[in-house]
Amino acid sequence: MVQELKAAKIFGGWNRRYKHKSDVLGCDMTFTVFYPPACESSPVPVLYFLSGLTCTDENVTTKSGIQRKAAEEGIAIIAPDTSPRGLKIEGDSDSWDFGEGAGFYLNATQPKWKQYRMYDYIIKELPSILKQFKELNIAEASITGHSMGGHGALTIGLKHPDLFKSISAFSPISNPISVPWGQKAFSGYLGDDKESWRQYDATELVKGYKGPSRKILIDVGTKDDFLENQLKPDVLAKAAPGTPVSVDLRLQDGYDHSYFFISTFIDDHVSHAAKALKSS
């Protein structure tokens, strides 16, 4: 059962927030869908936007202005939450970069965190719900995200080229196995076996990628406080040559890590998805 929590008209379309009981995560989850006006005549392709640390499904829908371009392109936006909520696991609310709001889009293997399965939630459960929505053509999907959600978009997109026709990211954690955010999350959720971490590392995935060619668009601000120590998009870009992946890494002069930055370049990411979805 999916319950609509609220709805508001925007740019001729509708922003609708839903709540449902997740079997995969064992808790209630929220997500938001933006329906462009075009979905009134036929099902539209979708673009998933995965959000970053501390965020919910509402950050991108209230702060990025993504609906303007999505309405123009006739693409629905799917905004999931960033972790399970309300499980009351000891320590799940102690840090802003681990536990609630910090699911890292993986399937945890450590017993304590076994309900943290955002990876399965995003690729299986959420699509199974969305395919019941007749306005959406979820067989035509692209993926993008910000920071931790950029990591999610890159890793999920690279592991499932069948499900996602294009990939882009804002300020992604591009090589999590080598940075503090990633190491904290992966050791907590996956344990000490670092070999198991590589399946969720975008740079490692690019190195082994054998799918159809993918041109990944990445925007990062040069004044992003996390650029050097947590994001490392240059490491990802350097891994691409010789693989079917090409990375269009754009260093945006003077921008930071915020939604002010995202809002400035969101149109390009919607267009990047639209181009792939329309040609597929």
| Catalytic machinery residues | 147, 224, 257
The amino acid at 100 = E
* Segment contacting a copy of itself by CB under 8 A, of 60-68, 106-114, 135-143, 200-208: 60-68
Order of strands, sheet of 136-145, starting from the edge strand that comes earlier in the sequence? 2-10, 13-22, 27-35, 76-80, 44-50, 136-145
Using CA atoms, how far apart are residues 33 and 19, in angstroms rounded to an integer?
11
Residues contacting residue 48 through CB under 8 Å, at least 6 positions apart: 78, 79, 80, 122, 141, 142, 143, 144, 145, 153, 164
User: Is there binding between residue 4 and a copy of itself (CB under 8 A)?
Assistant: no
When binding is defined by CB under 8 A, the residue of 109, 196, 264, 271 that contacts a copy of itself is 264
Is the CB of 9 or the CB of 114 nearer to a copy of itself? Answer: 9
Q: Which of residues 203-242 bind a copy of itself (CB under 8 A)?
A: 221, 223
| Residue 159 beta carbon to a copy of itself: minimum distance, rounded to whole angstroms | 33
| Residue 67 beta carbon to a copy of itself: minimum distance, rounded to whole angstroms | 8
User: Is there binding between residue 172 and a copy of itself (CB under 8 A)?
Assistant: no
When binding is defined by CB under 8 A, the residue of 3, 5, 229, 260 that contacts a copy of itself is 260
Number of residues located near a copy of itself, criterion CB under 8 A: 22
User: Is there binding between residue 200 and a copy of itself (CB under 8 A)?
Assistant: no
| Residue 264 beta carbon to a copy of itself: minimum distance, rounded to whole angstroms | 5
| Residue 29 beta carbon to a copy of itself: minimum distance, rounded to whole angstroms | 22
When binding is defined by CB under 8 A, the residue of 30, 196, 199, 263 that contacts a copy of itself is 263
Q: Are 202 and 158 in contact (CB under 8 A)?
A: yes
Q: Which of residues 12-31 bind a copy of itself (CB under 8 A)?
A: 12, 15
| Residue 53 beta carbon to a copy of itself: minimum distance, rounded to whole angstroms | 18
